[in-house]
Chain A
Amino acid sequence: MSASAVHSLWTTAADPISKIDAPKIEYGQLSPTLIVIGAAIVGILVEAFVPRKSRYYVQMFVSVVALTAAFAAVVGLATSGYGTTKAGIAAMGAIAVDGPALFLQGTILLAGLVGLFTFAERRLDPEAHGNRVDSFAAQAASVPGSDSEQAAVKAGFTTTEVFPLLLFAIGGMLIFPSANDLLTLFVALEVFSLPLYLLCALARRKRLMSQEAAVKYFLLGAFASAFTLFGIALLYGYAGSVSYGTIAQVVDGTVKDVNPALADTMGNDVLLLIGAAMIVMGLLFKVGAVPFHMWTPDVYQGAPTPVTGFMAAATKVAAFGALLRLLYVVLPGLRWDWRPVMMGIAVVTMLGGAVVAITQTDIKRLLAYSSIAHAGFILAGVIAMTPDGVSSVLFYLGAYSFVTIGAFAVVTLVRDAGGEATHLSKWAGLGRRSPLVAAVFAVFLLAFAGIPLTSGFAGKFAVFKAAAEGGAGTLVVVGVISSAIAAFFYIRVIVLMFFSEPRPDGPTVAVPSPLTMTAIGVGVAVTVVLGVAPQYFLDLANQAGVFVR
């Protein structure tokens, strides 16, 4: 860069600024996010001012109202055409309000609401000193096994902060798939990641494992964030802007005004390729694609199970939403470069997840690897690069998230003296003792395996069809093979539950409150309805399949 160019940087910055335009904010179109974040802030105030005894109920009330209202706002926006004809860019170009964004926001909000019910469950653990307890540590700051921990348990403390934390995470997730510039993307990434790191550390039982999981998640997540941020910097150098639309124009070579300060680097393909690769890497980390999946099993296993369920469902939805927008809006001009790479990643993700899952002996780790395999299936739809690809991914995400939350909710029910009995050997003969719970879990497993008449099959068919039509037939073949491998370990769990003799020291199935029952019931209902009559939701996803640019 020449000296004068550097100098011009300083001089343009020093120009007197005559007038700052007041930013124009479309509060109506942003209302879902605003409601959730506002409620999260109210939740913090509740922690500060409401007496300890009634916090749980107040927090529950605030969260449920907020999520319901936000969902109503999404539905309102969608019905008034913001998903299709009136789709546009809001908040000074920072947020896109379009079909995919609204569809994913609706999915995240519903998943969040169902997840919230599992967070609020207080009937599974035996009462401690006459107080009902949930899945979260009595006092997060007390050292595991210490006197202060015991004192906290005795005093009946509960970590009601989980509710505002959950709301913040949901707020970030709502922005993530609708972010229309790279900085908003990064801010949203951090807004939903940080509460999740915290939530992972808050398990009531097996606290050391939980904290270890949180540290791992945080460290690896911080790396991924750093990659993303560095990629953003490089892309800014390449395009002179962080806005999706402008970057896409530069990629296409149709840019109008060139930023003089960046004249030397603009259009430098090295910056583009490395920058794009780094951002995509960060997103692939969040969806848990191989080779960025290492955190998934440890975190899924260590985190409190309600958190795992929520995280597995909603994070995937948000991150795939962001990935879709990035690839379809910003980088379509680059697709001949990224498609082969993404195909490779999809192949290793499908196969890797399915193969490693076979050797797992812990139900939560098994579901973690299964979620990796599913990330691979979804990637097959992403790679299609057709409107069908978008809508199939949207449909898959919706179908998958409810199965996941339901499955993890069932995991919370199977308990022995040490809390949840997650080791697979303890699940032997569950079908004899509690046929209903085992049958429900079998339904979820069959949906994961993609057996017809479940939502999993409809989703899998949609993404494979999109991939085949998009010219990625290889992915379909690999997908089918890894489905067969995956079927093996899902079936193994079913065999264990139904055909093995119950162990005398086996776990018992806790009778949950209506909260968890609702979560599981919603999961089963969505699984069956989307499996038998998916047309309505496919239509919805189809209408939502166009990105605004």
Chain B
Amino acid sequence: MSFPLLTATAALPALGAIATAAVPAARRTMAKWLALIVSLATLVLAAIVLVRFDPAGDRYQLTESRAWIADFGVRYELGVDGIAVALIALTALLIPFVILAGWHDADPLETGNTRWRPTQGFFALILAVEAMVIISFEATDVFLFYIFFEAMLIPMYFLIGGFGDRAHEHGEETASTQRSYAAVKFLLYNLVGGLIMLAAVIGLYVVAGNFSLTEIAEARANGSLDMATNTERWLFLGFFFAFAVKAPLWPLHTWLPNAMGEATTPVAVLITAVVDKVGTFAMLRFCLQLFPEASKWATPVILVLALISIIYGALLAVGQRDIKRLVAYASISHFGFIILGIFAMTSQGQSGATLYMVNHGISTAALMLVAGFLISRRGSRLIADYGGVQKVAPVLAGTFLIGGLATLSLPGLAPFVSEFLVLVGTYARYPVVGIIATFGIVLAALYVLVLYQRTMTGPVKPEVAEMPDLRVRELVVVTPLIVLLIFLGVYPKPLTDIVNPAVKQTMSDVQKKDPQPEVEAAK
């Protein structure tokens, strides 16, 4: 048997997490470097996966299959298609930046307590999340996926609740209460979603007798596994509910602004740029493949919910006074676009949605991390506390602007390509929906530019007059992300080449063909 590359990609950060957690309390810096090196090594492995993946080859590649819990019909089955490869690469790419950006976020306030090791815990938890996210992108066994989909909540929960921004306008006591509220809200929302999915997972087993995605999808396609219409719909709803909480889709989104607002910036990036992608990814991989008929049945409602997410998220983003919450609501709007693209059931829409997942990850990471650097300098998340920053810290302001422009999908930056594809793909089948969704872009321009105007331009506020510009560590974090945004904005072909074949497969699963342009149809 060949080298289990996919297992290694997930196992490396997991082992790294254990090693990082075991570093003695006094050797904080060593823990940080260890975590960084492990995440870089994981990036190398992810790059090898990317290189070894052949877009023209089989649907699932680098597959591994081992017996695991035969009694539950569960096998340890891994395999990646183009969508998964792209998202694994995104995850592995972002984690080193998350670690670097959070370099000082978890330094202990009090020294002397030798048992309490927050730094080690912080970086170990980040690596644990990375491992679980990667394996959920790789799993082609529904049960295996479910296990890590759920288990990843626990380290995320500790990351949100255990580490917050140092400075807080209401003092440490309130901050700690709000943090644990946000963490509990995050966990309960996702746990309830996951438990409902558990009922559906059990139901799927009763119907299908095993959990292998490939086997079930094949059996569905050739008709040997017949599900009653109602059964399929209930199972679909069970799965979709969990993914819609994770993604998050309106009206299940309310945990996200809390969690992103209270968590430290790197953790907020981790939530929205990495972990939430598992939800949208799972819609593509599991909902559409396992329950094609029910997916088509539910499409109208999901499209409406996605539209509401787009508009409602954008409107609330416009009204926010808190920078991090603003980015959170913007993300809700963007997740609306992603879900819209998935359920538009056109290949352009789904390609766009997949690209969007990657691009949104990069652009939000850039915007959010720079916002985090800004917040850490002034000690406030409120927009009103800033003004004229571009005069004192021009590099910071410039990178912030590029991150913001990427968020509003400026042509030339990566998210534009994906947003355009989603809109075109949606318009082809549902013109009205496509038109309404376009307003999301207008609102995005509003909230991004108003945010920039209020914080960066205008007279310099006295509190920000002494603000230092970006440091070397911070530049190392931001520059590659911006380069990537520009590169993928101008030349998205490498990404689309990987993604498109997988999208075609998914489209054929749901037996949807792209609508023909009307001119041709008329001939």
Contacts and interface: CB of A to CB of B under 8 A. Distances in A.
A465 B72 contact: yes
A436 B117 CA distance: 11
A378 interface: no
A464 B71 contact: no
A477 B183 contact: no
Interface in A530-547: 533-535, 538-539, 542
A393 interface: no
A483 B113 CA distance: 37
A315 B206 CA distance: 32
**Chain B at the A interface: mostly helix, strand, loop or mixed?**
helix
A451 B196 contact: no
Nearest to A488: B188
Contact of B188 (A433, A473, A491): A491
Contacts of B187: 487, 491
B432 interface: no
Given A451-B151, A480-B198, A535-B69, A435 B180 contact: no
Interface string B164-205: 000000000100100110011001100110011011001101
A446 interface: yes
A499 B71 contact: no
A511 interface: no
B394 interface: no
Given A452-B146, A491-B188, A433 B199 contact: no
B192 A484 contact: yes
Interface string A428-472: 000011111000000000100001110001100110110011000
Given A434-B115, A487-B191, A535 B198 contact: no
B492 interface: no
A535 B202 contact: no
B341 interface: no
B183 A499 contact: yes
A501 interface: yes
A468 B202 contact: yes
A422 B176 CA distance: 24
Interface in A472-531: 473, 476-477, 480-481, 483-484, 487-488, 491-492, 495, 498-501
B17 to A, nearest CB: 13
Given A434-B115, A538-B69, A451 B199 contact: no
A461 B179 contact: no
Q: Is the interface of A mostly helix, strand, loop or mixed?
A: helix
Interface in B99-128: 113, 115-117
A539 B188 contact: no
A535 B115 contact: no
A538 B192 CA distance: 27
Given A484-B195, A495-B183, A499-B180, A538 B116 contact: no
A97 B81 CA distance: 52
Contacts, number: 99
Which interface class (under 10, 10 to 19, 20 to 34, 35 or more) fits B? Answer: 35 or more
Interface residues of A, number: 39
B30 interface: no
A462 B176 CA distance: 38
B158 interface: yes
A452 B148 contact: yes
Contacts of A492: 184
B191 A535 contact: no
Given A487-B188, A495-B161, A499-B162, A480 B195 contact: yes
Contact of B198 (A433, A464, A538): A464
B154 interface: yes
A412 B121 CA distance: 26
A480 B162 contact: no
B130 interface: no
Nearest to B67: A535
Given A480-B196, A499-B183, A535-B71, A452 B188 contact: no
A465 B202 contact: yes
B147 interface: yes
B202 A461 contact: yes
Q: Which 5 A-B pairs have the closest CB atoms?
A: A452-B147, A499-B180, A538-B71, A452-B151, A452-B150
Interface of B: 67-72, 113, 115-117, 146-148, 150-151, 153-154, 157-158, 161-162, 173, 176, 179-180, 183-184, 187-188, 191-192, 195-196, 198-199, 202-203, 205-206
29 contacts: A433-B115, A451-B151, A452-B147, A452-B148, A453-B147, A458-B69, A461-B72, A461-B202, A464-B199, A464-B202, A468-B203, A468-B205, A473-B203, A476-B202, A477-B199, A480-B195, A480-B196, A487-B188, A491-B187, A491-B188, A495-B161, A498-B158, A499-B162, A499-B179, A499-B180, A501-B176, A533-B68, A535-B70, A542-B71
Given A462-B72, A539-B71, 12 more contacts: A435-B115, A451-B153, A452-B150, A457-B147, A462-B71, A465-B205, A468-B202, A468-B206, A476-B202, A481-B195, A495-B161, A498-B158
